[in-house]
Amino acid sequence: MKTRAAVAFQAGKPLEIVEVDLQGPQPGEVLVEIMATGVCHTDAFTLSGDDPEGAFPAILGHEGAGIVREVGAGVTSLKPGDHVIPLYTAECRNCKFCLNPKTNLCQAVRATQGQGLMPDGTSRFSLDGKPILHYMGCSTFSNFTVLPEISLAKIREDAPFDLACYIGCGVTTGVGVVAFDAKVEPGSNVVVFGLGGIGLNVIQGAKMVGANKIIGIDINPSKVEIAKQFGMTDFINPKEVENVVDAIIEATDGGADYSFECIGNVNTMRQALECCHKGWGESYIIGVAGAGQEISTRPFQLVTGRVWRGTAFGGARGRTDVPKVVDWFMDGKINIKDLITHKMPLQDINKAFDLMHSGESIRSVVEF
């Protein structure tokens, strides 16, 4: 079949809207009509050329929601008409990783996914007979896409696509790191570096679990109002204090119980660790840093009890946990509507990248 898609032909160049060819689902695969997709900072990161796994031409996008239109042979858990959220972290429930309760990093399709290919080592997308790569196993910047069955979470049918799509990455990453990974206890002091599409979800997750102080850190003061609306109790602009780590330690009587880096900057990653409370403070790296970047700190920071961790997709096991996050949203426990600041048709998808780079948007959603 033919489908309309935004294709990244080259790093650093705008996406181009073209009609591409899409091969139907092979055994174990599912054809999905994408109804809406968010544009995440990670899409911009890969498009910039900084992603070591970035390969072109590719159809980016990993934050979508849609409807199953056709299933390949052997697919048992989904049928045409089901509403789904694509998963860039699959959940096969069989691999060594899925069987270990300490991780959500299913590896069943990860190797081929990282090469932009389906599990059989080929692509379903092509243009003029030449393959176009998949991205993060999702390629939600295409009206129709094909995914492995294990890379789809079935969700309730009353969840609106234009908001639920954000659960495919930003919402689950931010709320999930608090609830699934860190398991933040009520009364904890939490510090969030970066008040963008991820950080604001960490804030609402911290509020949901009953954190005490929720301190936001950002160099863009225009984020303060919305961060307060989502539960931020205190704000520090690093440009307005002499030393941001000292300012946090003072505001928290010794340091954060939990800190979250939602920027992707190795300097703020260090600050996020070092603002943690001696003896127990835990810092989670969420931000994705460019190729060749490295983190550093004095080992004494760890010797004296601070913990440095990282998280992908908020620790969520997609097929199991994404439907739960959708319930939290539908039950009014989390607010998605006010974080979707812009909507546009596929034709205008490059505007979503401009709005992100200028700091004007929290999340842009493309509706098909």
CB atoms near residue 301 (< 10 Å): 18
Span interacting with ligand AHE, options 46-54, 127-135, 137-145, 269-277, rule CB under 6 A: 46-54
Among residue numbers 274 through 293, which ones bind ligand AHE (CB under 6 A)?
A: 288
C-beta closer to ligand AHE: residue 51 or 348: 51
Sorted by sequence, the CB contacts under 8 Å of residue 187 that are 6+ apart come out as 210, 211, 212
Q: What dihedral do alpha carbons 178, 363, 69, 125 form, nearest 10°?
A: -110
49 sits near ligand NAD (criterion: CB under 6 A): no
**Where are the strands (E) in the chain, listed by range?**
2-7, 16-22, 29-39, 63-71, 83-86, 125-127, 130-132, 144-148, 152-155, 190-193, 214-217, 234-236, 258-261, 282-285, 307-310, 340-345, 363-367
Question: Binding of ligand NAD at residue 217 (CB under 6 A)?
Answer: yes
Nearer to Zn ion, 42 or 252 (CB): 42
Catalytic residue status for 276: no
Q: Which of 163, 169, 202, 227 binds ligand AHE (CB under 6 A)?
A: 169
| Active-site choice (3, 29, 37, 62) | 62
Among 16, 33, 51, 367, binds ligand AHE (CB under 6 A): 51
Q: Which member of 58, 169, 195, 273 binds Zn ion (CB under 5 A)?
A: 169
* Bridge pairing between strands 29-39 and 363-367: antiparallel
Q: How many CB atoms lie within 10 A of CB 2?
A: 10
Main-chain phi, psi angles of 247, to 5 degrees: -65, -40
Window contacting ligand AHE (CB under 6 A); options: 49-57, 225-233, 300-308, 348-356? 49-57
Active site residue 41: yes
CA distance 211 to 261: 17
Given candidates 2, 13, 53, 309, which one binds ligand AHE under the rule CB under 6 A? 53
CA distances from 355 to 41, 206, 335, 361, 368 (A): 11, 27, 21, 5, 19
98 catalytic residue (yes or no):
yes
What are the percentages of helix, strand and coil residues in the chain, rounded to 5? 30, 25, 45
Closer of 40 and 192 to Zn ion (Cβ): 40
Active-site annotation holds for 363: yes
Which residues inside 225-254 make contact with ligand NAD, applying CB under 6 A? 238
The reply to whether 42 belongs to the active site is yes
Site for Zn ion contains 40 (CB under 5 A)? yes
Contact flag: residue 290 with ligand NAD (CB under 6 A): no
Q: For residue 47, which phi and psi values (nearest 5 degrees)?
A: -65, -30
270 belongs to the catalytic site: no
Among 16, 18, 26, 45, binds ligand NAD (CB under 6 A): 45
Q: What's the min distance (Å) between Cβ of 39 and ligand NAD? A: 9
Q: How many residues bind ligand NAD (CB under 6 A)?
A: 32
- Using rule CB under 6 A, residue 106 touches ligand NAD: no
Per-residue 3-state assignment (H helix, E strand, C coil) for 39-88 = ECHHHHHHHHCCCCCCCCCECCCCEEEEEEEEECCCCCCCCCCCEEEECC
What is the smallest separation between the CB atom of 47 and ligand NAD, expressed in angstroms?
A: 12
Of 311, 317, 325, 349, which lies in the binding site for ligand NAD, with binding defined by CB under 6 A? 311
How far is residue 4 CA from its own chain's centroid? 24
Least distance to ligand AHE from the beta carbon of 244, Å?
A: 24
Sequence-ordered list of residues with C-beta below 8 angstroms from that of 46, at least 6 positions apart, any chain: 8, 53, 54, 58, 60, 135
Q: Which residue has the tokens 């009509």?
A: 33
139: partner contacted, choices ligand NAD, Zn ion, ligand AHE, none (Cβ within 5-8 A by kind): none
Site residues for ligand AHE per CB under 6 A: 40, 42, 51-53, 89, 105, 110, 169, 288, 312-313
- Give me the active site residues, please: 40-42, 62-63, 92, 95, 98, 106, 110, 169, 363
